[in-house]
Amino acid sequence: MLLFPNCINLSVLNNNENNNKMDTNRIIEEVKKQGKTIASSIAEIKDYPEPGISFKDITPVLQSPELFNKVNMALVDLTKCFGKVDLVVSPESRGFLFGPVVADRLGIGFVPARKSGKLPRAVIEEPYGKEYGTDMIQIHNDAIAKGQRIIIVDDVLATGGTAKAIARLAERLGGIVAGYVFFIELCYLGGSIFLGNDKVLSLVEYQ
């Protein structure tokens, strides 16, 4: 009888992959259900900060310990859908409300991405588009090691410009962008298409 101890049982691998996909889809489905409930607590302010814009005010969620905890646990679950992650990266300022919490609950590190002049040591920077021009976002030049898998966590996905700039920073340092996780996604602005639909997961979606 011939033995092949190093051969891989493809049927077992395929079953494991299918089971993982099913588990991921189930998690996403459950999180989306939670998102619909949480969305009812997000205040919409018409014509703010200018006419024609409907501002999504998350402060009622932040004021409720129960809701804030649910949001962060949901973001943790979404992050787990991308597999093993070494670091969470978030931009100032509202990204700092969620990114450090997600990192803490996953037991991994947090990297702050900040505007020009806010970080004390040597940095790398990337431009990102704003409504009336461009700005720069920076991270420390030793914040991410080569090969580390990162997840970008923020409060809102609009056009995706800030998140994409952070991804470029991570990649310049040799990091691998596993995915993007957002509390709120404004789907009508096309941010997930810009970032890559298969890499974006959001808790609350506005179509």
Specify the pLDDT at position 19: 59
Q: Domain boundaries in the chain? A: 12-206
Q: List, for residues 55-79, the tens digit of each pLDDT value.
A: 999 999 999 999 999 999 999 999 9
Of 29, 50, 66, 131, the active-site residue reads: 131
Tell me if residue 131 is catalytic. yes
Catalytic member of 94, 105, 168, 172: 94
Predicted TM-score (pTM) of this structure: 0.88
Please say whether the beta carbons of 97 and 68 come within 8 A. no
Query: 26 an active-site residue?
Result: no
Tell me the two tokens of residue 162: 């800030």
- Over residues 87-103, the pLDDT tens digits come to 999 999 999 999 999 99
Query: Residue 49, preceding bond cis, omega within 30 degrees?
Result: yes
Which DSSP symbol is given to 124? E
Are the CB atoms for 170 and 150 separated by under 8 Å?
A: yes
Token pair listed for 36 = 């619909």
Lookup result for tokens 């979606």: 205
Fold of 12-206: Rossmann fold (3.40.50)
